[in-house]
């Protein structure tokens, strides 16, 4: 069932992103008087198609990993004299720039609309209150204390842990001090804390922005009750079910969920004797955690089960909601922040501050899409918006084959007054294809390594 949900979720996500992207190209091309021959979502043999009154074929193809808008172009096939004024190559350089740029801009617009809808509908989050502060950690040395609520990071106000993580990840590679402001309660003024860091989060896989600073978010006590059990994993094989409460592991009483997690992580491949409460009865089960290897080569136990959700106290809940006009400004700001974060991550990956193993391909996208769809509409829309921004940024990179490569050629043409030579474009095409193929293979490799 989980696999089916993942597949359906990724089809919906990629279908929306590709359709918006290609519609951007299509819409501006039509406004510029270019004849569009085909609008295809997906590659390969069409599963469905129809031709409109303008002679454009709209198609849905078998391979949902991209799409394209095929325009009339004398460089690709002979064009009748009466249609030459509708050929893409006959348009001015600025019209061609507008047509090519419209795809990524449509993805940015989709992200803004998605964030706007979330801000208008309102989102509920939890206050970023510090739970524990690790001894001798950067947070401890700065004086930050348990129970304080963080209200700003590096001078930017924050209202949730997501906001905090976003701004901390943007500081990857920093050395010196990170500035946090926190207060004891809503009535107090915030006080600044300076956390000493050195090469912050450099080459961490995956980055752990809060744990590296020694900060553990506050959360209510979680009883050791299973909320979900993944089919085929160790917990399911042992006979555990959603709703089971773990009472004892190897004769050791389990008070809360973290007790159980700690015992599991410390016992990869070992047999754990469990006492479990289910429907008023007590069961004895044997659980053998699977094994997962961390980056440092340390193996930890894994059983494929999640904790049952609990209600957060009202004083820790925060509702973020804006009017339609204010929400538009917030949506544009969030899109801008995520765009800068993505660009910064690409730059830091190129210079070695971020491990390339953080690259994600179609398998990880499918997993995250499925997980966010199961979590709720709010998480799914947020993921859709972020993926739309990532697609736009990726397409604007100055790599031949991508929209950014074509834009680079057209801007050079605008400056020089004549097009880039066919020979140069052909060479760039080969280089671009090699770069994209390498990137896709790396992403797929790291996807498979995450599965293993």
CA end-to-end distance (rounded Å), the chain: 20
Give the C-alpha separation, 345 to 170, whole Å.
8
d(CA 301, CA 269): 7
Q: Out of 22, 76, 82, 192, pick the active-site residue.
A: 22
CB-based contact 139:104 (threshold 8 Å): no
| Residue 22 annotated to the active site | yes
CB atoms within 10 A of CB 243: 13
* Closest to 10 measured CA to CA, from 393, 416, 368: 368
Q: CB-hemisphere CA count at 13 Å for 441? A: 6
Active site residues: 22
């Amino acid at each position: 069932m989980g696999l089916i949900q993942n597949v359906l979720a990724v089809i919906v996500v990629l279908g929306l992103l590709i359709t918006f992207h290609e519609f951007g190209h299509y819409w501006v091309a039509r406004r510029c008087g270019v004849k569009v021959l085909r609008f295809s979502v997906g590659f390969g043999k069409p599963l469905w198609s129809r031709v409109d009154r303008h002679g454009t074929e709209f198609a849905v193809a078998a391979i949902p990993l991209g799409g394209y808008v095929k325009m009339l172009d004398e460089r690709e096939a002979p064009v009748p004299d009466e249609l030459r004024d509708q050929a893409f190559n006959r348009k001015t350089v600025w019209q061609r720039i507008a047509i090519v740029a419209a795809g990524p801009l449509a993805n940015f617009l989709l992200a803004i609309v998605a964030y706007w809808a979330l801000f208008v509908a309102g989102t509920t989050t939890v206050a970023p209150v510090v739970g524990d502060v690790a001894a001798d950690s950067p947070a401890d040395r700065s004086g930050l204390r348990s129970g304080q609520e963080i209200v700003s990071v590096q001078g930017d106000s924050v209202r949730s842990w997501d906001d905090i993580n976003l701004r901390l990840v943007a500081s990857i590679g920093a050395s010196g001090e990170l500035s946090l402001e926190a207060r004891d309660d809503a009535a107090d003024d915030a006080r600044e804390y300076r956390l000493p860091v050195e090469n912050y989060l450099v080459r961490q896989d995956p980055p752990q922005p809060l744990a590296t600073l020694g900060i553990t978010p506050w959360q209510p006590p979680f009883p050791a009750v299973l909320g979900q059990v993944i089919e085929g994993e160790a917990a399911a094989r042992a006979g555990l079910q959603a709703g089971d409460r773990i009472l004892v592991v190897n004769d050791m009483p389990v008070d809360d969920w973290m007790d159980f997690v700690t015992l599991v992580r410390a016992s990869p491949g070992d047999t754990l004797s469990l006492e479990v409460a289910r429907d008023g009865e007590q069961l004895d089960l044997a659980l053998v955690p699977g094994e997962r290897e961390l980056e440092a080569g340390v193996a930890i136990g894994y059983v494929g089960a999640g904790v049952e959700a609990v209600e957060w106290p009202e004083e820790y809940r925060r509702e973020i909601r804006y009017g339609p006009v204010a929400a538009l400004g917030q949506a544009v700001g969030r899109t801008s922040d995520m765009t800068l974060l993505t660009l910064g991550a690409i730059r830091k990956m190129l210079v070695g501050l971020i491990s390339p193993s953080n690259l994600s391909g179609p398998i990880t996208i499918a997993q995250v899409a499925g997980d966010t769809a199961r979590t709720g509409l709010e998480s799914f829309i947020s993921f859709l918006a972020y993926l739309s921004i990532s697609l736009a940024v990726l397409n604007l990179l100055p790599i031949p084959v991508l929209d950014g490569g074509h834009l680079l050629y057209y801007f050079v043409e605008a400056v020089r007054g004549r097009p880039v030579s066919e020979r140069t474009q052909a060479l760039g095409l080969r280089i671009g294809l090699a770069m994209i193929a390498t990137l896709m293979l790396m992403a797929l490799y790291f996807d498979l390594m995450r599965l293993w």
